[in-house]
Amino acid sequence: MKIVRILAGSVLAASVSTVALAQEELETPEERLSYTIGMDIGGSLAEQDIDLDMDLLVEALRASYNGEETRLTEEEALAERDAFMQRRQQQMEVERAQEASVNLEEGEAFLAENAEREGISVTESGLQYRVIEEGEGASPTAEDRVTVHYKGTLIDGTVFDSSYDRGEPATFALNQVIPGWTEGVQLMKEGAKYEFFVPSELAYGEQGRPGPIGPNSTLIFEVELLEVGDGESQE
């Protein structure tokens, strides 16, 4: 909101002869800059998905830019912004709660059906896994560092992370990742390739992660254990 407000003060340069400019080439630096700022503000407002009265918006921009009297005082405008932010926050919380409920229900249904598939094993914690290829090397402990190739997807097939796509494996301490990984990778031996189906409580839970991993998301990982290292010696 603050960025939009700052830009809004500048966009009035574009309000002069708007109709004429729409039919003419933008020739002067002032015209081109004015139009550019208008595009920036319009795009920023569109991204925020706010219902606006464009006539009133332009009226307020013009009055503020020209130092004229506005329909709202500064105090009234500040109160309205605060009220809007509160409404938006409440709306986001409701939507997130709804998303969490849907994700949990869909995840539980997926795991229940998946558990009946041939080749699927289920641990006491609820972690599910499928052996794609067994290895012959060492198995890690929770304190070890491991080097893996992996791909992570949602249950709808959306890929949210992939070391294969980055072109290099990942190395990390096994006790510093989600519980589903800490438990699951310990079941593997070097050279093995498993598929893990991770319930939300063994992944990112109600918090989710920025991006496609919403609250209560069940995750699927294809993991290839390349190397097991000593956690202390590789710090």
Q: Is 178 a catalytic residue?
A: yes
Q: Is 204 a catalytic residue?
A: yes
Indicate which residue of 110, 129, 196, 221 is catalytic: 221
Indicate which residue of 150, 194, 196, 197 is catalytic: 150
Indicate which residue of 35, 40, 65, 161 is catalytic: 161
Helix ranges restricted to H, the chain: 2-10, 18-23, 29-47, 54-66, 74-114, 163-166, 179-185
Q: Is 161 a catalytic residue?
A: yes
Indicate which residue of 110, 129, 194, 204 is catalytic: 204
- Going by C-alpha positions, the residue among 83, 234, 90, 128 that lies closest to residue 173 is 234
DSSP single-letter state for residue 137 = S
Measured over the CA atoms of residue 162, residue 164, residue 167 and residue 171, the dihedral's sign is positive
Indicate which residue of 35, 51, 178, 194 is catalytic: 178
17: exposed, middle or buried (Cβ count in 10 Å: 0-12, 13-18, 19+): exposed
Q: Are 38 and 46 in contact (CB under 8 A)?
A: no
Q: Are 221 and 181 in contact (CB under 8 A)?
A: yes
Q: Is 221 a catalytic residue?
A: yes
Residues labelled as active-site residues: 150, 160-161, 178, 204, 221
